[in-house]
Chain A
Amino acid sequence: MLKISNLHASVEDTQILKGINLDVAAGEVHAIMGPNGSGKSTLAQVLAGHEAYEVTEGSVSYEDKDLLEMSPEDRAREGLFLAFQYPVEIPGVNTAYFLRTGLNEILKARGQEEMDAIDFLQLIREKLKLVEMDESFLKRSVNEGFSGGEKKRHEVLQMAVLEPRLAVLDETDSGLDIDALKVVAEGVNQLRAPNRSTVIVTHYQRLLDYIVPDYVHVLIHGRIVRSGGKELALKLEEQGYDWIREEVAEQTVGA
């Protein structure tokens, strides 16, 4: 599904990613954890194609295509979805209209028929239940005046509607209370399927209580320094990142 090899990326001449290697097979859920400033969000943005980040080395293949060669919209149309850490406000643009426009672009790319407003309303009503949101929300402008929790639910709602094959969740748990966290996790779990993969970028372990990952990777200073199962996340929760930092430092000195 996704194969990241030796990925280096920089923003404004500052090297952030320094050789990421990661394989995500279909149906898997991977969690990427790490302290602040380790490059987690950069990795998410690079995968989605944000032009502020320059890839200086390495490659990313997605479903056997060169992901880095694709425009951000083509990546989206090919089933890559990024749930933003900071969803952007678009004043005056109706939420339902925004989402239907995106969905239709993706349906078009898949060679499927576009959805009219009536069919879309039916679909979105179901999905709204999933994230426990009220229908009145559709009439508001995209993310404008949304609370932090509403913005995150909106991201999950969009994901549920667009049905991506690869979902990247960038700190979707940050700033959520426990109820909202459960709703978001439930939304993600519902989408788990053998043909879909999820990459969860997070600082804290608590989201992983609700979305159980197949693999956990620790990202420090732009490199994945440890990979393991769910137990690695629990150890990080208990002991923090310092022990890994020390081990990494020793290795570096020893090398």
Chain B
Amino acid sequence: MPEPSSQAAPLSDTEVLEEFAQREYKEGFVTDVETDSAPPGLNEETIAFISAKKQEPEWLLEWRLKAYRQWLTMEDPTAQKASQRWAMVQYPEIDYQAISYFSAPKKALNSLDEVDPEILETYNKLGIPLQEQMMLAGVAVDAVFDSVSVATTFKDKLAELGIIFCSFTEAVHNHPDLVQKYLGSVVPTNDNYFAALNCAVFTDGSFVYIPPGVRCPMELSTYFRINAANTGQFERTLVVADEGAYVSYLEGCTAPMRDENQLHAAVVELVALGDAQIKYSTIQNWYPGNAEGVGGIYNFVTKRGACRGDRSKISWTQVETGSAITWKYPSCILQGDDSVGEFYSVAVTSGKQQADTGTKMIHLGKNTKSTIISKGISAVEGQNTYRGAVQIMKKATDSRNFTQCDSMLIGDQCGAHTFPYITVRNASSTVEHEASTSKIGEDQIFYCNQRGLSTEDAVSMIVNGFCKEVLAELPMEFAVEATKLLGISLEGSVG
């Protein structure tokens, strides 16, 4: 049940527009670029303020405003009645005027002593080095610590190869042509409510460009981790692999990160030109809220990749263990002939967590191929939904899809749901779908106990076995962390 909002009944679109038009220049609102934050609320001036703060070119401001105007005409899915929603998630209506869309960086803590001991305990269980812990927890650290210099070394090496890897803001300033060419080319500004909101108000994110024929020699991860602590709630990522290029990109982090923003609406766009390959791996472990589910992050993300050239390949791998609500469908548009899309996912919902996640594979080119492996784990009162669409269009002859959706239940209060949508518009293509639901049995745990394993280790082992095919897709160091994380996420959910 949505909680009653303190606001009056939601305004209709016209009312919103009218109110917006009539709104006076509010007291306390300043467009002065010297100021570091905007008061809560969203209107065209907020957007102009953000754009001005970031010294953006005119075209980008126009692009943002276009997205904002589209957003105003769209229906907020959180304001819909539960019965009208297509997603299996429940949450109170979000008050967008109560959010501050641009604020100065959070005040750094002075030491780890100020950090929630529970978070520190998790860091220790994950074996995260002390300095990284401080960074993740938002403790002010000496500017010259090791990782920063390592990051600089990385950057030099990448630059030698012509690889661009920088914050989105830097990219706008230093590579405006590339940004303008690809921004919004995979996820249009009016794609969905949260993507439109992101387009209007995003503050930063990451930009990657791999030049033709270049194979990025390292996982783009260590560096990212350092930046990760500062990414905002409306994050924007754009990865472009030019002809024949290859890149493996790691997003997120196993450690739960400190964040006061409840709503996260990120957009990730991937573009693979001919013969290019992009491997995008995510570990998401935002705060899931307390045992009653209060205070957790709403993770409403739009992720999509375009296999634009022939023989290109995009592979999404995700391990989702955090957030109160996860709502994301990393998708592939297989435009080029012989292009390949893959989606490997583990989603864990424990406590009161809800996840509605899956993928879309849109086959447009001939002889295109997609693979979907989804593992959903629900424990305690968690609700886990796989929602996937496979569309094989008329011209996508001789195309193939294989989908496997497995759900695991721990306890009897949780739920698992599977909604596959399959459309095939030609006769030469094949689609396979397999699904299973299993329950971690007391007997499995007892069997492990009888061989000397504690219940926690047993659950971790059983769950990792269940997720094996997906974990195998993660880069080595990430896989090790993900394995530990799965165990920790389910601690206390059994027995």
Contact = CB atoms under 8 A, between A and B. Distances in A.
Interface of A: 48-52, 71-73, 75-77, 81-82, 84, 87-93, 98-99, 101-103, 105-106, 109, 141-142, 158, 162
A98 B468 CA distance: 14
B453 A102 contact: yes
Contact of A82 (B441, B448, B450): B450
20 contacts: A48-B446, A49-B446, A51-B446, A52-B442, A72-B449, A73-B455, A76-B450, A82-B450, A88-B447, A90-B444, A90-B462, A91-B465, A92-B464, A101-B453, A102-B451, A102-B453, A105-B451, A105-B452, A105-B454, A162-B451
A141 B452 contact: no
A76 B451 contact: yes
Contacts of A90: 444, 447-448, 461-462, 465
B412 to A, nearest CB: 15
A2 to B, nearest CB: 16
Interface string B434-477: 00001001111011111111110100011011111100000000
Contacts of A77: 452
Grouping DSSP codes into helix (H, G, I), strand (E, B) and loop, the B interface class, with mixed when no group exceeds half, is helix
Given A72-B446, A88-B447, 12 more contacts: A51-B442, A51-B446, A72-B450, A73-B452, A77-B452, A84-B450, A91-B438, A92-B466, A93-B464, A98-B461, A102-B452, A105-B452
Contacts of A158: 451
Nearest to B461: A93
The residue in A49, A88, A102, A106 that gathers the most chain B C-beta atoms within 10 A of its C-beta is: A88
Most buried by B among A50, A93, A142: A93
A87 B451 CA distance: 12
Given A51-B442, A98-B461, A92 B453 contact: no
A92 B449 contact: no
A109 B442 contact: no
Contacts of A51: 442, 446
A117 to B, nearest CB: 15
A220 B302 CA distance: 65
Contacts of A72: 446, 449-450
Contacts of A52: 442
Given A76-B449, A76-B452, A101 B441 contact: no
Contact of A101 (B447, B455, B457): B457
Given A90-B465, A91-B465, A92-B467, A103 B452 contact: yes
Contacts of A106: 452
Contact of B465 (A82, A92, A103): A92
B139 to A, nearest CB: 35
A142 B462 CA distance: 10
A109 B452 contact: yes
B449 A49 contact: yes
Contacts of B464: 92-93
**Best-surrounded residue of B443, B444, B465, B469 (most CB of chain A within 10 A):** B465
Given A93-B461, A93-B465, A98-B461, A88 B452 contact: no
Contacts of B448: 90, 98, 102
A146 to B, nearest CB: 13
A50 B461 CA distance: 19
A50 B444 CA distance: 11
A214 B452 CA distance: 29
B476 to A, nearest CB: 17
Most A C-beta atoms less than 10 A away, residue of B449, B464, B466, B467 = B449
Nearest to A81: B450
A49 B465 CA distance: 25
A48 B466 contact: no
A39 B442 CA distance: 20
A17 to B, nearest CB: 18
Nearest to B467: A92
A208 B454 CA distance: 34
Nearest to A104: B452
A105 B453 contact: yes
Most buried by A among B438, B447, B455: B447
B451 A84 contact: no
Contacts of A93: 461-462, 464-465
A51 B441 CA distance: 13
A195 to B, nearest CB: 19
A49 B454 CA distance: 13
Contacts of A162: 451-452
A73 B453 contact: yes
Nearest to A102: B451
Contacts of B449: 49, 71-73, 76
A243 B449 CA distance: 40
A194 B291 CA distance: 52
Contacts of A87: 447
B466 A73 contact: no
Contact of A92 (B441, B451, B454, B468): B468
Nearest to B457: A101
B172 to A, nearest CB: 45
Contacts of A76: 449-452
Contacts of A91: 438, 465-466
B192 to A, nearest CB: 35
A42 to B, nearest CB: 14
A92 B450 CA distance: 19
A172 to B, nearest CB: 14
Contacts of B469: 92
**Residue of B444, B446, B464 contacting most chain A CB atoms (<10 Å):** B446
Contacts of B451: 76, 98-99, 101-102, 105, 158, 162
A150 to B, nearest CB: 16
B483 to A, nearest CB: 12
B447 A84 contact: yes
B472 to A, nearest CB: 10
Contact of B443 (A88, A102, A105): A88
Nearest to A143: B447
A3 B62 CA distance: 83
Minimum-distance CB pairs A-B, first 6: A92-B465, A102-B451, A105-B452, A93-B465, A72-B449, A92-B468
Contacts of B447: 84, 87-88, 90
